[in-house]
Amino acid sequence: MTTRVPRMNEAESRAWLALVGTSQLLPAALDAQLQADSGITHFEFMALSALNTAPELTLRTSDLAVRTYATLPRLSKVVSRMEARGLVERVPCPGDARASNIRLTRDGRKELLLALPGHLSLVRAEVLGRLSEGQLEALAEALEPVLEALADDPRFPWARGASRRAESGAATA
């Protein structure tokens, strides 16, 4: 039952190629800049950022995983590495001994703030700075539903809930 799937038309093809292309190049570019200038990966940057905006600079491991689009194993390993470098620390979660909270250390916060300008500058130079106000709006309008679709597709359980559903923050109880 090979259901007939129509080919892409011109507009679809352009949009798709551009999207796939950027999905390929952008992460590599972000990694390269951050790695070179601050010695952290873009993924680590995202994790540190998420912690930085969390109450008490602390998040449950699985919460952080959702916020960074990461699988649990991946996050676990990255946290171990960052912990070894003193950027974050694992603190036992009061009220649930299986879980652990991840806390941004003072050093981690410093590193993050140090990395921020360079990162932001790259993002402006390559992306935001090239788009008009209207284009920014259109980009968000176009990609947000896509993001949500990906996050909610049962075929991709690792993304589950990436469309903000849990606003829990750190579990302190």
Partner DNA sequence: TAGCGTTACTTGCCACGGCAACCAAGTACC
Partner DNA sequence: GGTACTTGGTTGCCGTGGCAAGTAACGCTA
Is residue 145 a contact residue for its own copies (CB under 8 A)?
yes
User: How big is the site for its own copies, counted in residues (CB under 8 A)?
Assistant: 61
Asked if 68 contacts 62 with a C-beta cutoff of 8 angstroms, the reply is no
State the Cα–Cα distance between residues 57 and 54, nearest whole angstrom. 5
> Is residue 140 involved in binding its own copies (CB under 8 A)?
yes
Point out which span in 11-19, 60-68, 121-129, 161-169 binds DNA (CB under 7 A): 60-68
CB neighbourhood size of 64 (10 A): 24
Distances (CA, A) of 40 to 52, 104, 162: 16, 15, 23
**Candidate segments 29-37, 55-63, 90-98, 101-109, binder of its own copies by CB under 8 A:** 29-37
Q: Is 52 in the site for DNA (CB under 7 A)?
A: no
Half-sphere exposure of 87 (CA within 13 A, CB side): 25
Quick check: 137 binds its own copies (CB under 8 A)? yes
- Nearest to its own copies of 12, 56 (CB atom): 12
Taking CB under 8 A as the rule, does residue 166 contact its own copies?
Answer: no
CB 159 within 8 A of CB 150: yes
72 is an interface residue for its own copies by CB under 8 A: no
